[in-house]
Structure 1
């Protein structure tokens, strides 16, 4: 067992001083309960981690180990999720580590202006993620762009028939994609009007996310916590209104800490947020 003086300080998030306690059984990376380090009205939630795993060189090696990385990310997210129930934190990048409490306080001092600005912007708010997928643009799911798939028995008998069938399939795919884009655009516009801020993320790569279908919309919305129920109902209602748009699937995730809104107002990431469990 390592000497506590040799441990490093793993920082999960920055927030205002907590006015409510975290769950007594909450543990973070390495099974260690997080604690608060405060400096001039800002608080960092930290946990002790061993030098043998989190010094620069071993950490670089660990970050190539997908199992280690997944376990650490789950522990990190567990602390952020618990923190989000009692405050509106600014999550830091996975494996943000300092030598000791003095280093953490120096980080709070150096970044105080930005931290205060971001915390003011996200105060009382949570993030909701909304994704739209087009499941059947190629017809493999039974329908193509809103129309029934051609029966297998309708095989082309001539080269001309083959070309005609290919044009028909391409037209159906294009029409389906246009309908999906239109739906996603309308949904984003509607949800943006009912949120304090919104971010459009790059579409997810299905090969990496393993989510079925083609990702048409991948967006995040900053919503007052007190209005979250109305926001969820709005998403559900919009989905019902588009019931006739076949092949589309809408996924709602959250509420999260405001991962997508800790950068500047242009939407550029400041590099300090981590990926949520839904992969956004």
Structure 2
């Protein structure tokens, strides 16, 4: 969040959704934004335009925002409203999305702050113009390390040869157990190395199509019971005319690696506007 504190909680604040070149008002005129009833409008600063909306500062104090973040449904409503405005702007011209809940004390403060970031915005717009963001997730099947060892078959009962309490295991039983454990560990390490190679192969292949790429934190294993583990969670900045190559590349990589590869997009390039 930006600038809104408790001392201004009864005043109005300016919520900034995105910065773009020169969007047509019709592209976002019918959207409610985050404050239904207040119109979205364009705020010109220098050669760029911000899409803004007047909101109640009381709704965006630190305490109010923390309470909203604790309410999953309410937070999702705000995030969707923010995303819809950004997407509408991006559909008509290159757009730099601003973080959720970026606010200023009125138009002059907003214009002054945004003017100070003009060079960064211009660079981001030039970098992402004509591009979209695509997500790629790769899952490798992790089979069990080794089937359960068969239960040893008990020898026939011989009353005259009853084993004394505390009898020793058969010779070599401990060595066999250690060898089996080493084998399990070796297979586990090989599977891990194979998974890393799959991730590197897929990432390298998609980077040949993309203008830029980022690897994100891996998600936890899926609760599907199938043993699928995520080995790559990445996002790529791809020029529009190359988007059709992504699915073809995914089919090829699925056949070559045996991994499950999921593609999502196109998205507004949120992940690539802050790296300038």
What's the TM-score bracket when you normalise by the shorter of the two chains?
Answer: 0.7 to 0.9
Q: Which residue of 1 aligns with 2:14?
A: 9
Question: Pairwise mapping of residues 190-209 of structure 1 onto structure 2 (< 5 A)?
Answer: 190-206=205-221
Cα distance, 1:114 vs structure 2: 0.9
Q: TM-score, normalised by structure 1?
A: 0.75
Q: Report the Cα offset of residue 160 of structure 1.
A: 5.3
Gaps of 5+ in 2: 1-9, 153-172
What value does the CA root-mean-square deviation take over the aligned residues? 2.7
Show CA shifts across 1:99-150 (max 9, x none).
222222122211111111111111111111112123425x2xxxx5xxxx62
Residue in structure 1 matched with residue 150 of structure 2 by the alignment: 155
- What does residue 254 of structure 2 align with? 239
Spell out, residue by residue over 1:64-121, the C-alpha distance to the aligned partner (whole angstroms, 9 max, x if none).
4433322222222222233332223211111111122222212221111111111111
Partner of 1:258: 269
1:162 deviates by: 4.7
User: Which entry has the higher C-alpha Rg, 1 or 2?
Assistant: 2
Q: Hey, what's the Cα distance between the residues in 1 that align with 2:180 and 2:79? A: 48
Alignment check: 8 A CA contact 1:156 1:165 kept: no
CA distance in 2, matches of 1:177, 1:21: 52
State the 1:26 CA deviation. 2.6
- Equivalent in 47, 54, 59 of residue 60 of structure 2: 54
Deviation digits for residues 229-275 of structure 1, max 9, x if unmatched? Answer: 12332223322333xx3xx322211111112212235xxxxxxxxxx
Instruction: Identify the residue that residue 82 of structure 1 maps to in structure 2.
Output: 88
**Aligned partners of 1:129 and 1:220 also within 8 Å:** yes
Q: Secondary structure at the match of 1:29?
A: coil
* Alignment gaps of 5+ in structure 1: 266-280
Superposed counterparts of 1:155-194, under 5 Å = 155=150, 157=152, 162-194=177-209
Do the aligned partners of 2:25 and 2:42 also contact (CA within 8 Å) in 1?
A: no
Is residue 128–residue 272 contact of structure 2 (8 Å, CA) maintained in 1?
Answer: yes
Q: What SS does structure 2 have at the residue aligned with 1:128?
A: strand
Whether 1:28 aligns to 2:33 is yes
Moved over 6 A (4+): none
Counterpart pick for 1:102 among 88, 99, 108:
108
Segment drifting more, 119-128 vs 81-90: 81-90
Q: 1:205 to 1:79 in 2, by over 3 A?
A: farther
In 2, the alpha carbon distance for the partners of 1:171 and 1:11 equals 54
Alpha carbons of structure 1 residues 18 and 130: separation in structure 2 relative to 1, 3 Å: same
> Do the aligned partners of residues 103 and 60 (structure 1) sit closer, same or farther apart at CA in structure 2, a change above 3 Å counting?
farther
Q: Is the 8 A contact 2:196 2:231 kept in 1?
A: yes
Change (3 A) 1:91 1:167: same
Using the TM superposition, give the Cα deviation of residue 19 of structure 1 relative to its aligned residue in structure 2, in angstroms. Answer: 4.9
Secondary structure (helix, strand or coil) at the match of 1:214 reads strand
Q: Conserved in 2, the CA contact under 8 Å of 1:90 and 1:259?
A: yes
Q: In structure 2, what is the Cα distance between the partners aligned to 1:183 and 1:215?
A: 11
